[in-house]
Structure 1
Amino acid sequence: MKNTLILHINDTSIDEALLSQAADAINQNKTVILPTETVYGLGANALNSEAVEKIFIAKGRPQDNPLIVHVSNMNMLEKCVKSIPEDALSLIHAFWPGPLTLILEKSDLIPHNVSAGLNTVGVRMPDHPIALKLIDLANTPIAAPSANRSGKPSPTTAEHVISDMQGRVDVIIAADHSRIGLESTVLDMTHNPPMILRPGGVTLSQLQMLIPEITIDPQVHHSVDSPRSPGMKYTHYAPQAEMTMVRGDHSKVIKKITHLMDEHKHLNCAIICAEEHIQDYPNQNCLSLGSLSNPAFMASQLFTILRKCDELQLDYVITEAFAEEEMGLALMNRLKKAVGYKILDV
Structure 2
Amino acid sequence: MSATSSDFDKAAGVLRAGGLVAFPTETVYGLGANAEDPAAVARVFQVKGRPPSHPLIVHLAAAERLDGWVEDVPETARVLAERFWPGPLTLVLRRGPRVSPEATGGLETVAVRVPDHPVALGLLSAFGGGVAAPSANRFGSVSPTTADHVRAELGDAVDFVLDGGPCEVGVESTIVDATGDVPAVLRPGGVTREDLEAALGRAFAVPAASPVRVPGQHPSHYAPRARVVLVEPEEVVVEAERARERGHRVGVFLPPALAGSPVEAHAVVAVPGSTAAYARGLYAFLRDLDRQGCDLIVASLPAEEGLGLAIANRLRRAAGPRSAVPRPPAP
Instruction: Give the TM-score of the pair, scaled to structure 2.
Output: 0.92
Q: Which residue identity lines up with residue 172 of structure 2 in the other structure?
A: E
1:134 and 2:123 matched: yes
For the residue of structure 1 that corresponds to 2:248, the secondary structure is coil
Q: Which residue identity lines up with residue 242 of structure 2 in the other structure?
A: L
Gaps of 5+ in 1: 1-8, 221-225
Please list, as runs of the form range in 1=range in 2, the aligned pairs for 1:219-230 lying within 5 A after superposition: 219=209, 228-230=213-215
Query: 1-side partners of 2:261 and 2:321: how far apart?
Result: 24
**Is the Cα contact below 8 Å between 1:278 and 1:286 reproduced in 2?**
no
**Is the Cα contact below 8 Å between 1:254 and 1:281 reproduced in 2?**
no
Choose from 215, 222, 229 the match for 1:244. Answer: 229
Quickly say closer, same or farther: Cα 1:67–1:27, change in 2 above 3 A: same
CA shift, 1:148, in A, is 0.5
Q: Which residue identity lines up with residue 304 of structure 2 in the other structure?
A: E
CA shift, 1:76, in A, is 2.3
Residue 223 of structure 1: aligned partner = none
Residue 297 of structure 1: aligned partner = 277
Q: Which moved more, 1:38-47 or 1:207-216?
A: 207-216
Please list, as runs of the form range in 1=range in 2, the aligned pairs for 1:33-182 lying within 5 A after superposition: 33-182=22-171
Please list, as runs of the form range in 1=range in 2, the aligned pairs for 1:174-253 lying within 5 A after superposition: 174-211=163-200, 212-219=202-209, 228-247=213-232, 250-251=233-234, 253=235
Quickly say closer, same or farther: Cα 1:23–1:194, change in 2 above 3 A: same
Query: 2-side partners of 1:191 and 1:207: how far apart?
Result: 16
Q: Which residue identity lines up with residue 324 of structure 1 in the other structure?
A: E
Residue 325 of structure 2: aligned partner = none
Q: Which residue identity lines up with residue 15 of structure 2 in the other structure?
A: I
Quickly say closer, same or farther: Cα 1:191–1:168, change in 2 above 3 A: same
CA shift, 1:276, in A, is 4.2
**Is the Cα contact below 8 Å between 1:242 and 1:315 reproduced in 2?**
yes
CA shift, 1:267, in A, is 2.3
The number of residues matched between the two structures is 321
Quickly say closer, same or farther: Cα 1:319–1:116, change in 2 above 3 A: same
Quickly say closer, same or farther: Cα 1:20–1:42, change in 2 above 3 A: same
Choose from 312, 321, 324 the match for 2:304. Answer: 324
Residue 318 of structure 2: aligned partner = 338
Q: Which moved more, 1:109-118 or 1:42-51?
A: 109-118
CA shift, 1:182, in A, is 0.5
Could you list the per-position Cα deviations for residues 253-308 of structure 1 after superposition, in whole angstroms to 9, with x for gaps in the alignment? 246425533442x221121122442433433345325333x111111111001111
**Is the Cα contact below 8 Å between 1:227 and 1:233 reproduced in 2?**
no
Choose from 279, 282, 288 the match for 2:260. Answer: 279
Residue 3 of structure 1: aligned partner = none
Quickly say closer, same or farther: Cα 1:254–1:143, change in 2 above 3 A: closer
Query: 2-side partners of 1:82 and 1:179: how far apart?
Result: 32
Could you list the per-position Cα deviations for residues 190-213 of structure 1 after superposition, in whole angstroms to 9, with x for gaps in the alignment? 133100000011000000012213
Q: Which residue identity lines up with residue 317 of structure 1 in the other structure?
A: I
**Is the Cα contact below 8 Å between 2:230 and 2:319 reproduced in 1?**
yes
**Is the Cα contact below 8 Å between 2:236 and 2:299 reproduced in 1?**
no
Query: 2-side partners of 1:322 and 1:74: how far apart?
Result: 33
Instruction: Give the TM-score of the pair, scaled to structure 1.
Output: 0.88
CA shift, 1:145, in A, is 0.3
CA shift, 1:58, in A, is 1.2
Quickly say closer, same or farther: Cα 1:341–1:21, change in 2 above 3 A: same
Choose from 268, 274, 298 the match for 2:249. Answer: 268
Q: Which residue identity lines up with residue 292 of structure 2 in the other structure?
A: L
CA shift, 1:108, in A, is 2.1
Q: Which residue identity lines up with residue 62 of structure 1 in the other structure?
A: P
Quickly say closer, same or farther: Cα 1:85–1:70, change in 2 above 3 A: same
Query: 2-side partners of 1:184 and 1:172: how far apart?
Result: 21
CA shift, 1:309, in A, is 1.9
Query: 1-side partners of 2:313 and 2:45: how far apart?
Result: 23
For the residue of structure 2 that corresponds to 1:94, the secondary structure is helix
